[in-house]
Amino acid sequence: MAYPYYNYTNPFAAQYQPQFVQPQPIQTGITWIGNQGEAEAYPLAPNCAVALWSRSEPVVYIKQSDATGRPTIKAYDITERSASSASHGATGADNLTQIASEIKVMQSALEGLRNDIKKLTEGKTDESDV
Protein backbone atom coordinates (compact mmCIF):
# COMPACT_ATOMS: atom_id res chain seq x y z
CA MET A 1 0.00 0.00 0.00
CA ALA A 2 1.38 3.33 -1.05
CA TYR A 3 1.64 6.07 1.52
CA PRO A 4 -0.99 8.64 0.44
CA TYR A 5 0.97 11.76 1.51
CA TYR A 6 4.30 10.71 0.02
CA ASN A 7 4.18 13.22 -2.84
CA TYR A 8 2.73 15.95 -0.71
CA THR A 9 4.15 19.42 -1.41
CA ASN A 10 3.58 22.34 0.85
CA PRO A 11 1.51 24.91 -1.12
CA PHE A 12 2.89 27.74 1.05
CA ALA A 13 6.53 26.81 0.55
CA ALA A 14 7.01 29.43 -2.15
CA GLN A 15 6.11 32.16 0.30
CA TYR A 16 9.14 31.36 2.41
CA GLN A 17 11.65 31.46 -0.42
CA PRO A 18 13.99 34.40 -0.10
CA GLN A 19 13.06 37.11 -2.58
CA PHE A 20 15.36 39.73 -4.00
CA VAL A 21 14.15 43.13 -2.92
CA GLN A 22 15.18 45.89 -5.26
CA PRO A 23 16.31 48.93 -3.30
CA GLN A 24 13.99 51.86 -3.78
CA PRO A 25 15.49 55.17 -4.83
CA ILE A 26 15.55 57.74 -2.07
CA GLN A 27 13.11 60.57 -2.67
CA THR A 28 14.62 63.87 -1.66
CA GLY A 29 11.76 66.07 -2.77
CA ILE A 30 14.14 68.24 -4.79
CA THR A 31 13.45 68.55 -8.49
CA TRP A 32 16.77 68.67 -10.33
CA ILE A 33 17.12 69.82 -13.89
CA GLY A 34 20.01 69.97 -16.32
CA ASN A 35 19.73 73.47 -17.73
CA GLN A 36 17.37 76.39 -18.27
CA GLY A 37 15.91 74.68 -21.34
CA GLU A 38 14.63 71.88 -19.14
CA ALA A 39 13.14 74.45 -16.77
CA GLU A 40 11.30 76.07 -19.65
CA ALA A 41 10.01 72.70 -20.84
CA TYR A 42 9.01 71.51 -17.36
CA PRO A 43 5.24 70.85 -17.31
CA LEU A 44 3.38 73.08 -14.90
CA ALA A 45 -0.30 73.15 -14.01
CA PRO A 46 -2.17 76.49 -14.02
CA ASN A 47 -1.83 78.51 -10.80
CA CYS A 48 1.18 76.50 -9.66
CA ALA A 49 4.78 77.15 -8.76
CA VAL A 50 7.75 74.84 -8.63
CA ALA A 51 11.39 75.24 -7.62
CA LEU A 52 13.78 73.60 -10.08
CA TRP A 53 17.37 73.16 -8.94
CA SER A 54 20.12 73.17 -11.51
CA ARG A 55 22.33 70.10 -11.46
CA SER A 56 25.28 71.86 -13.07
CA GLU A 57 25.43 75.30 -11.45
CA PRO A 58 24.27 76.97 -8.21
CA VAL A 59 21.03 78.28 -9.65
CA VAL A 60 17.40 77.77 -8.69
CA TYR A 61 14.66 78.40 -11.22
CA ILE A 62 11.27 79.38 -9.84
CA LYS A 63 8.67 78.58 -12.46
CA GLN A 64 5.19 79.94 -11.89
CA SER A 65 2.03 79.91 -13.93
CA ASP A 66 -1.05 82.10 -13.86
CA ALA A 67 -4.68 81.02 -14.11
CA THR A 68 -4.41 80.67 -17.88
CA GLY A 69 -1.37 78.42 -17.52
CA ARG A 70 1.07 81.00 -18.89
CA PRO A 71 4.44 80.28 -17.25
CA THR A 72 7.13 82.68 -16.07
CA ILE A 73 10.60 81.70 -14.94
CA LYS A 74 12.94 83.54 -12.60
CA ALA A 75 16.51 82.36 -12.01
CA TYR A 76 18.18 82.90 -8.66
CA ASP A 77 21.89 82.50 -8.04
CA ILE A 78 22.74 80.67 -4.84
CA THR A 79 25.64 81.89 -2.76
CA GLU A 80 26.89 80.04 0.27
CA ARG A 81 26.81 82.03 3.47
CA SER A 82 30.35 82.35 4.79
CA ALA A 83 31.32 82.35 8.49
CA SER A 84 31.97 86.11 8.48
CA SER A 85 28.59 86.94 6.96
CA ALA A 86 26.89 84.43 9.27
CA SER A 87 28.16 86.43 12.28
CA HIS A 88 26.94 89.65 10.67
CA GLY A 89 24.51 90.22 13.53
CA ALA A 90 27.24 90.28 16.17
CA THR A 91 29.39 92.57 14.03
CA GLY A 92 26.44 94.91 13.62
CA ALA A 93 25.93 95.02 17.39
CA ASP A 94 29.61 95.82 17.89
CA ASN A 95 29.33 98.58 15.33
CA LEU A 96 26.32 100.06 17.11
CA THR A 97 28.21 100.17 20.44
CA GLN A 98 31.14 101.86 18.75
CA ILE A 99 28.84 104.39 17.04
CA ALA A 100 27.09 105.14 20.37
CA SER A 101 30.42 105.85 22.10
CA GLU A 102 31.50 108.06 19.18
CA ILE A 103 28.23 109.99 19.44
CA LYS A 104 28.86 110.55 23.18
CA VAL A 105 32.35 111.88 22.46
CA MET A 106 30.96 114.16 19.75
CA GLN A 107 28.17 115.32 22.06
CA SER A 108 30.67 116.28 24.77
CA ALA A 109 32.84 118.03 22.18
CA LEU A 110 29.79 119.87 20.87
CA GLU A 111 28.86 120.86 24.40
CA GLY A 112 32.37 122.25 24.89
CA LEU A 113 32.09 124.24 21.65
CA ARG A 114 28.71 125.62 22.74
CA ASN A 115 30.20 126.78 26.00
CA ASP A 116 33.09 128.40 24.14
CA ILE A 117 30.69 130.15 21.75
CA LYS A 118 28.55 131.24 24.68
CA LYS A 119 31.53 132.70 26.46
CA LEU A 120 32.68 134.50 23.30
CA THR A 121 29.16 135.76 22.59
CA GLU A 122 28.72 136.98 26.12
CA GLY A 123 32.06 138.78 25.91
CA LYS A 124 31.03 140.39 22.64
CA THR A 125 27.67 141.35 24.06
CA ASP A 126 29.39 142.94 27.00
CA GLU A 127 31.68 144.86 24.68
CA SER A 128 28.79 145.92 22.42
CA ASP A 129 26.81 147.01 25.43
CA VAL A 130 29.66 149.19 26.52
Partner 1 sequence: MNPMFNLQQMVSAIKSNPVGFLAQRGINLPAGTNDPNAILQQMLNSGRVTQDQVNRAWQMAQKYR
Taking the complex as a whole, the smallest distance from the CB of residue 70 to partner 1 amounts, in Å, to 12
Taking the complex as a whole, the smallest distance from the CB of residue 96 to partner 1 amounts, in Å, to 45
Taking the complex as a whole, the smallest distance from the CB of residue 69 to partner 1 amounts, in Å, to 6
Q: Which is nearer to partner 1, 42 or 73 (CB)?
A: 42
DSSP run (H or E) holding 4: none
Q: Which is nearer to partner 1, 35 or 125 (CB)?
A: 35
Q: How many CB atoms lie within 10 A of CB 62?
A: 14
Spatial distance between the Cα atoms of 85 and 78, rounded to a whole number of angstroms: 15
Q: Which is nearer to partner 1, 48 or 106 (CB)?
A: 48
Q: Does 99 bind partner 1 (CB under 8 A)?
A: no
| DSSP tag of 16 | G
Residues of span 12-51 touching partner 1 by CB under 8 A: 25-32, 41-46, 48, 50
Spatial distance between the Cα atoms of 32 and 41, rounded to a whole number of angstroms: 13
Strand ranges of the sheet holding 31-33, from the earlier edge strand across to the other edge? 31-33, 49-54, 59-65, 71-77
Residues within the interface to partner 1 (CB under 8 A): 25-32, 41-46, 48, 50, 69
